[in-house]
Amino acid sequence: MLRPLIALIVALWLPPLHAANVLVLGDSLSAAYGMNENQGWVQLLRERLEQKQLDIQVINASISGETTAGGLARLPRLLNEYQPSVVILELGGNDGLRGYPIQSMKKQLQRSVQLSHQHQAQVLLLGMEIPPNYGRRYSELFRSAYQEIAKHNELVLVPFFLEGVATNRELMQADGIHPRSEAQAQMLDNVWPLLEPLLDADSKQLEASANH
């Protein structure tokens, strides 16, 4: 009678083991703008995880038009609700297109990283670039902002999320900003090599915790 009671007390005392949830916090690039949601790269990620028989839930909290400020405002609730083990941070493109101050964008990205880390979530940062017509200095500062955030926080960084896509007109919608459905597989391939090791490390950590 005593042993079951002790086991129950220990189970209640130990922190719960969270499933390996992945939270995608992004803008229209991750919200499948201009196409069916099932065609977007986030859905393709879900399908790849399923093919690999990985029991990982992917929560897509991306909203078209989202900025770093908007994402930061929504992040605390999302972290509390889903308890993700990995946060894919894909924000900043709309800040750049609207010419927002780079320092403000960096501050909001930094705070989002800090909040994620406080919830024991790893962060994968997706870097972006903006068209050259915004001026060389602004474009370079925009690009380097992601590099600085990644270096300061020792994050895994995808240098340019739209690598191999943005310069291919056949893969871009008529507005020249949003990728077509045909580009989504390439976008996932840009993310996957850096995301997979994070998921593997997280799975091993969960296994180790379960065996103790």
Q: How confident is the model at residue 203 (pLDDT cuts 50, 70, 90)?
A: low
Instruction: Say if residue 13's pLDDT is above 50.
Output: no
Q: Are 177 and 97 in contact (CB under 8 A)?
A: yes
Q: Which of 28, 30, 62, 112 is catalytic?
A: 28
Tokens of 86: 């990995």
Answer whether residue 80 is part of any domain.
Answer: yes
Mean local confidence (pLDDT), 162-181: 96
pLDDT at res. 131: 85
Greater pLDDT, 206 or 23: 23
Instruction: Say if residue 153's pLDDT is above 90.
Output: yes
Dihedral of CA atoms 33, 34, 35, 41 in degrees, nearest 10, equals -30
Answer whether residue 5 is part of any domain.
Answer: no
Q: How confident is the model at residue 211 (pLDDT cuts 50, 70, 90)?
A: very low
Answer whether residue 55 is part of any domain.
Answer: yes
Q: Structurally, how many domains does the chain consist of?
A: 1
Mean local confidence (pLDDT), 122-132: 95
Answer whether residue 11 is part of any domain.
Answer: no
Answer whether residue 164 is part of any domain.
Answer: yes
Name the DSSP letter for residue 157.
Answer: E
Q: How confident is the model at residue 202 (pLDDT cuts 50, 70, 90)?
A: low
Give the residue numbers spanning the domain of 96.
19-210
Answer whether residue 8 is part of any domain.
Answer: no
pTM for this prediction: 0.88
Answer whether residue 88 is part of any domain.
Answer: yes
Q: How confident is the model at residue 3 (pLDDT cuts 50, 70, 90)?
A: very low
Distance, in Å, from the CA atom of 111 to the CA atom of 179, rounded to the nearest integer, reads 28
Query: In this structure, what CATH number is given to the domain that contains residue 84?
Result: 3.40.50.1110
Residue 175 annotated among the catalytic residues of the structure: yes
**Residue closest to 97 by CA, chosen among 125, 123, 129, 121:** 129
Exposure of 3 in the CB half-sphere (CA atoms within 13 A): 0
Flag the least confident range among 36-50, 111-125, 158-172, 194-208: 194-208
**Residue closest to 38 by CA, chosen among 60, 21, 55:** 60
Answer whether residue 129 is part of any domain.
Answer: yes
Q: How confident is the model at residue 205 (pLDDT cuts 50, 70, 90)?
A: low
Mean local confidence (pLDDT), 24-52: 97
Distance, in Å, from the CA atom of 181 to the CA atom of 65, rounded to the nearest integer, reads 18
Q: Which of 27, 62, 116, 178 is catalytic?
A: 178
Q: How confident is the model at residue 18 (pLDDT cuts 50, 70, 90)?
A: very low
Instruction: Say if residue 180's pLDDT is above 70.
Output: yes
Instruction: Say if residue 186's pLDDT is above 80.
Output: yes
